[in-house]
Amino acid sequence: MTYGSPWRGIGAMVVSIATFLTCDTFMKLAMADVPPLEVLVFRGGFATSLCLPLLLGLGLGRHLPLALNGWVLLRALSEAMAVIFFVIVLARVPIGDITAIMQTTPLVIVMGAALIWREPIGPLRVLLIGLGFLGALMVAQPGAGAVSLLALLAFPAALFAAGRDLLSRKVPANVPALVAVLTTLVMVMVCAFIANALFGRWVAPAPQRLAQMAGAGLFLVSGQLFVFLAYRLAPAAIVAPFSYTAALWGVLSGALVFGDLPNALGFSGMALIVASGVAVVILGGRQRGGVAAAGAV
């Protein structure tokens, strides 16, 4: 696969992380009264009602049969599993703690890209990604309470999320991003409905909770679209480390919504995340330049 400038992929990743974090904030607010899996069902309904008209309005309706492509469905199923694990934890664990655990996702993505697609990463890039992970922990500062069986469910969520992003590269190029997004939305909603019908309970949401779930659906559509595009616009090893900006957006959400401000260690972690991410991009650019020069000889 041929890529252009990596900055478009990076920009798409940063925007996707910001919108996903906003979606998570709305969901956590709604889950004060509504069971987690039911929140997923309502969120999926609102998101689908936004995504489908947009898809049809852009004249992409003729591409809807591509939603049944095997890679598209497998990617959607991986997302469904990740989200179900995630919301169960999100309902009971502070956002900072689960954000820290979810920062293992980029590590899995980069390593997976190296093992599956033979993308070169090198020890220095691995070290920089590790520093980004350390910075994320410094920002989130998970307490001892996060080390529990419930919080550990975030690790399967991170694993399935990494699978979703790796599978994005296998989706055929003729599949429009919105078709893949719609498939994912429906898959998550259906899986959550089945899981809640079997193991959960249903409540009648208050108007405020409905509005919050609608907001989550709106930002979910944006996040799904941008993360799908990110892995099409740049190599996984370049864009994946910018998932660490989730820690930065998490701090912003915590400050604005929950009144939590980072301490000195948190700000140091933010600086480490940004520095390591920029260093990974610079290193990747130099490596691509070296390969191009060698091929020209």
Per-domain residue ranges of the chain: 6-296
Lowest mean pLDDT, pick from 7-11, 39-43, 144-148, 212-216: 144-148
258 Cβ contact list (under 8 Å, min separation 6): 95
Lowest mean pLDDT, pick from 53-57, 90-94, 259-263: 259-263
Q: Considering all CA atoms of the chain, what is the largest pairwise distance in Å, rounded to the nearest integer?
A: 68
**Highest mean pLDDT: which range of 161-165, 176-180, 261-265:** 176-180
**Highest mean pLDDT: which range of 70-84, 153-167, 279-293:** 70-84
pLDDT average, residue stretch 17-32: 92
Report the candidate in 185, 220, 209 with the shortest Cα–Cα distance to residue 41: 185
Q: Which two tokens stand for residue 2?
A: 């041929």
265 Cβ contact list (under 8 Å, min separation 6): 138, 141
What pLDDT sits at residue 107? 67
pTM, rounded to two decimals = 0.77
Report the candidate in 53, 42, 13 with the shortest Cα–Cα distance to residue 216: 42
**CA angle (134, 227, 100) in 5-degree steps:** 25
Please state, as a whole number, how many other Cβ atoms lie within 10 Å of the Cβ of residue 199.
9
Greater pLDDT, 132 or 42: 42
Question: Phi and psi for 172 in degrees, rounded to 5?
Answer: -55, 145
Number of H helices, E strands in the chain: 12, 0
Residues 123, 109: Cα–Cα separation, whole Å: 15
Asked if 132 and 276 touch (Cβ cutoff 8 Å), the reply is: yes
Residues 137, 266: Cα–Cα separation, whole Å: 9
